[in-house]
Amino acid sequence: MTDSKWVYRFDEVALAEQAAGDWEGVRALLGGKGANLAEMTRIGVPVPPGFTVTTAACNAYLASGSQFPGGLWEQTRAAMQATQKAATRVFGSARNPLLVSCRSGAKFSMPGMMDTVLNIGLNDETAEGLAALTDDRRYAFDCYRRLVQMFGSVVLNIPDEDFEDILDAWKEKRGVKSDTDLSAEDWQAITEEFKVVVRKHTGEDFPQDPYEQLRLSIEAVFRSWNGKRAVDYRNAARISHDLGTAVNIVTMVFGNMGGTSGTGVAFTRDPASGERRLYGDYLLNAQGEDVVAGIRNTLPIAQMEKDLPEAYAQFVSICDRLEAHYREMQDVEFTIEQRKLWMLQTRSGKRTARAAVRIAVEMANEGLITKEQAVLRVSPEQVDVLLHPQFDQAAEQQARAEGRLFCSGVNASPGAAVGQAYFDADTAERMAKEHGQAVIMVRPFTKPDDVHGMLAAKGILTSEGGATSHAAVVARQFGVPCVVGAAAARINLEARQMTAGEKVVKEGDWLSVNGTTGEVFLGQLGTVAPALEEQTDLLTLLGWADEIAARPDARTGHVTRGLQVWANADYPADARRARAYGAQGIGLCRTEHMFFEPERLPIVQRMILAESSAERVTALDELLPFQQADFAGLFEAMDGLPVIIRLIDPPLHEFLPSQEALLEEVITMRVKGAVDGLEDKEKLLASVNALHESNPMMGLRGVRLSILMPEIVEMQVRAIMQAAAEVANRGLDPRPEVMIPLTGHVNELKVIQPRLEAIAKEVMAASGANFHYKFGTMIEIPRAALTAAEIAGVAEFFSFGTNDLTQMTYGYSRDDAERNFLLKYVEDHILPGNPFQSIDQPGVGRLMRMAVEDGRSARPELEVGICGEHGGDPDSVHFCHAIGLNYVSCSPFRVPVARLAAGQAAVDSR
């Protein structure tokens, strides 16, 4: 262990590359922040001297019960010696003090989720030395009090309020509102009071040994990896818990040295809209925490051009250089110390879904990245966010006219959120999780400790902070609509209410937050679905994804049409929406849904209750025109594209009143002596009782019902084929595919399919129409997957019904499982995830792979897809691409998500 290298100076990035193998390995070893500080140093960007303690050291520390691994402290002290030399200052010296910051930095950015300590190295002597060196006592003791406060809260776990109360009392005593209005004497006195707080809570004095401060700070950052807010964030962002965090020790540079100094955070492109312009906040005479914590209202970055023009010009040049170097929008932190610019961080910037799409498309068009890289830059979840509802403009105008505009602020994260106001993170999380409420979390400003409430909320409102504050950054990453810096909102946390003028919002009241415009309204506003055709950047990106999914494999030259995305649609309106969203076919039309229409249900019930085949056929003849019209509408909407129509699947009792309700009604009528209609009710109850099954899901349904009552599916196939013939004779191109559900044995298909094919041939001959059709089956029973080669001898296509296949493979009833135990199974890691949300690849997936391979061994041209809810799940889409499916089918609103996932799967496989 003592031979391990735990520490790398910023100028040792080449050694880190040798140890880690490649840049991803360097990021894993040094964390994203440490790797980028080292890379900026290598390319000549001004970075203060420093070094990184590796993630491996963190993991070793945590694994050993909070003990530094052998050699770590010795390497840290040696790196401090090198940093002193580079900075030409001495750590712990009163004459020429070197101060450092101690910051976390994991492989993946987790803004604000772990701990930071600034100004390490100050003590009673070095604070006086710093005052003498700079001839500025106010600056020196402002730095010192910050160290005592941060060290106390971060390292010693003292409540931050204990320090803030003292600070507020001093500002009230002096009659000032801003920290910058306090004098040197004030800061010196405040520092002494802060040290009393430390002694009161710990029984010990604030440590005066700079190396002791450094050691304890490194340990605190290591421990913060397992802090609640960090764990909650990793769970939400799907970041592995075993990566550990690096610790970056950086020479302090000071933005609080007067009017020629400042600090800020900026993005090389607008993280809300994606526009190519510098976007950010900065403050004169401040340290970085003042900006990101949101405790002071900031200035826009453009103001810096007027205040510090030379530093601004250099800053713009460096931002352009960093974006070109990393080929990605950058989030940078900087400090200007007496007109000298220092870069403290660069990383890929968090952004809204809309910005992610625009940036990816524009960077590809600019030649910075390829189309393939652009497709990979946007997550399916971000596409989903773009399709979320927005506030109806008419509803907003009416709310304004009614005086319901409560306040406005910075539009930090777009989207519409409606929920009930709660004023702390714990309550917000509890009301959302335990009571199922839609929550708007309201705070003066958010801190990293609030992240669990932010993740549970539908929207966020703060009265302080700017576009790069903690609330804004976290909200943008997770797609939560957010308004920050709403200064008109006066929040009273003790009274659990806020006011804006004469308007009052109490805890539990409804708010509507428009993160796109920065406005907050009282009450609940109506929402509308966004129009995909208006989102030109998204359409461009999805077009690239389709193109990539269908592209020949560069290695083999094999040309396939790729994994297509189809849609589940039962009505023509659904089909038109699906086609507008880019669907290349209908993968599932559930014919039984059409039976529930009010004018049809009585006919369906007469058909079910018929006492003879002739009676049943009479009722079915009445239904046929309805079904034919439905199918014709689907073929028109999907002209030239395939439409898979599933024949009746559910058991017949689902079309009748419930057994319990009928029994109660009959008993009530008997008790009351009601004679009118009693006989009909009793007859209906007897029929329902006769249809009753102990386990309907495995009872008389699907192909079994088709075999026992063939008249039903014969009517449906006749309606399908007559509709196709009618549409074809009008010059359109219908492509019907008839799907027989729930096949378990090939002989079931051998019985029913020839009868249905005969009807298709008869209709085509009688109509004179010419169109292509297929007959296939759903694979939703494990036995069907295991005997796929036999079934493919009859069926021309397979469609996996992954909902039922998952239920039957696991032996779960989905509704009962999710209600009683499945969520706990996932929480306790008994299952890696919910198998009804993402395909269980080792179990259900293995059956699917086997069915595809065996089915195509019997019928090489076999078309195979899925039509369960998994068709819109990105991980499932990747799996379907891997096993060679022709299409996935999902709800119309998930089609854009699946299109992007299909393109990404193609890129990943190549």
DSSP 498-565: EEETTEEEETT-EEEEETTTTEEEES---EEPPPGGG-HHHHHHHHHHHHHHTSPPTTT-------EE
pLDDT for 477-530, tens place per residue?
A: 777 899 998 989 999 999 999 999 999 999 999 999 999 889 999 999 998 877
Instruction: Let me know: does 102 contact 147? Beta carbons within 8 Å.
Output: no
Q: What pLDDT, on a 0 to 100 scale, did the predictor assign at position 609?
A: 87
Q: Which residue would you say has higher pLDDT here, 134 or 866?
A: 866
Of the pLDDT bands very low, low, confident and very high (cuts 50, 70, 90), residue 557 is: very low
Weakest-pLDDT range from 156-170, 546-560, 573-587: 546-560
* Cα angle, residue 11 at apex, residues 8 and 15 outer, rounded to 5°: 55
Which residue carries 């854009």 as its tokens? 896
Of the pLDDT bands very low, low, confident and very high (cuts 50, 70, 90), residue 551 is: low
Closest among 453, 336, 468 to 412, alpha carbons compared: 468
- Residue 590's DSSP bridge partners are 646
Which residue carries 């993005």 as its tokens? 267
Percentage of residues of the chain with pLDDT beyond 70: 98
CA 47 distance to own-chain centroid: 33
Q: Which residue would you say has higher pLDDT here, 368 or 296?
A: 368
Is a pLDDT exceeding 80 seen at residue 776? yes
How far apart (Å, rounded) are the C-alpha atoms in residues 839 and 882?
A: 13
Q: Which residue would you say has higher pLDDT here, 387 or 867?
A: 867
Distances (CA, A) of 69 to 41, 57, 59, 81, 210: 28, 7, 10, 20, 21
Sheet strands side by side (includes 410-413): 405-408, 519-522, 510-514, 416-422, 439-443, 459-462, 482-484, 410-413
| DSSP sequence for 80-130 | HHHHHHHHT-EET-SSSEE-EEEEEEESS--TTSS-EEEEET--HHHHHHH
How far apart (Å, rounded) are the C-alpha atoms in residues 843 and 831?
A: 12
Instruction: Let me know: does 301 contact 278? Beta carbons within 8 Å.
Output: yes
Q: What pLDDT, on a 0 to 100 scale, did the predictor assign at position 556?
A: 44
Q: Which residue type sits at 363?
A: M
Question: Rounded mean pLDDT of 29-53?
Answer: 97
**C-alpha torsion sign, points 839, 845, 848, 853:** positive
How far apart (Å, rounded) are the C-alpha atoms in residues 802 and 823?
A: 19
Catalytic-role residue among 470, 653, 870, 878: 470
Of the pLDDT bands very low, low, confident and very high (cuts 50, 70, 90), residue 471 is: confident
* 3-state secondary structure (DSSP) of residue 77: helix
Q: What pLDDT, on a 0 to 100 scale, did the predictor assign at position 296?
A: 67
Q: Terminal CA-to-CA distance of the chain, rounded, Å?
A: 40
Instruction: Let me know: does 589 contact 569? Beta carbons within 8 Å.
Output: yes
Kindly state the DSSP code that residue 648 receives in the 8-state scheme: P
Q: Which residue would you say has higher pLDDT here, 858 or 466?
A: 858
514-546 b/e (C-beta count within 10 Å ≥ 16 → b): bbbebbbbbeebebeebebeebebbbbbbebbb
Is a pLDDT exceeding 80 seen at residue 294? no
Q: What is the mean pLDDT of the chain?
A: 92
3-state secondary structure 445-468: CCCHHHHHHHHHCCEEEECCCCCC
Instruction: Let me know: does 706 contact 617? Beta carbons within 8 Å.
Output: no
Is a pLDDT exceeding 70 seen at residue 555? no
**C-alpha torsion sign, points 677, 678, 683, 685:** positive
Weakest-pLDDT range from 115-124, 452-461, 663-672, 696-705: 663-672
pLDDT for 201-234, tens place per residue?
A: 999 999 999 999 999 999 999 999 999 989 988 9
Is a pLDDT exceeding 90 seen at residue 562? no
Q: What is the token pair recorded at 425? A: 């993170």
- Element of type H or E holding 687: helix 678-691
Cβ neighbors of 422 (< 8 A, separation 6 or more) are 428, 431, 439, 440, 441, 442, 453, 507, 508
Query: Which contacts of 46-49 are long-range, i.e. CB under 8 A and separated by 24 or more positions?
Result: 46/318, 46/340, 46/341, 46/342, 46/343, 47/10, 47/342, 47/343, 47/344, 48/87, 48/250, 48/251, 48/252, 48/253, 48/342, 48/344, 49/9, 49/10, 49/82, 49/83, 49/86, 49/87, 49/250, 49/251
Q: Which residue would you say has higher pLDDT here, 256 or 798?
A: 798
Helix (H), strand (E) counts: the chain? 38, 33
Q: What pLDDT, on a 0 to 100 scale, did the predictor assign at position 554?
A: 47
Distances (CA, A) of 648 to 285, 328, 534, 761: 73, 51, 38, 21
Is a pLDDT exceeding 90 seen at residue 255? no
Catalytic-role residue among 143, 867, 880, 890: 867
Q: What pLDDT, on a 0 to 100 scale, did the predictor assign at position 665?
A: 83
Dihedral pair phi/psi, residue 566, rounded to 5°? -110, 180
Would residue 653 show up in a list of annotated catalytic residues for this protein?
no
Cβ neighbors of 640 (< 8 A, separation 6 or more) are 732, 733, 735
Q: What sections of 151-303 are H helices per DSSP?
A: 160-174, 184-202, 210-224, 228-237, 288-292
Question: Rounded mean pLDDT of 647-658?
Answer: 86
How far apart (Å, rounded) are the C-alpha atoms in residues 293 and 272?
A: 19
Q: What pLDDT, on a 0 to 100 scale, did the predictor assign at position 559?
A: 44
Question: Rounded mean pLDDT of 75-81?
Answer: 97
Would residue 870 show up in a list of annotated catalytic residues for this protein?
no
Q: What pLDDT, on a 0 to 100 scale, did the predictor assign at position 111?
A: 78
- Residue 585's DSSP bridge partners are none
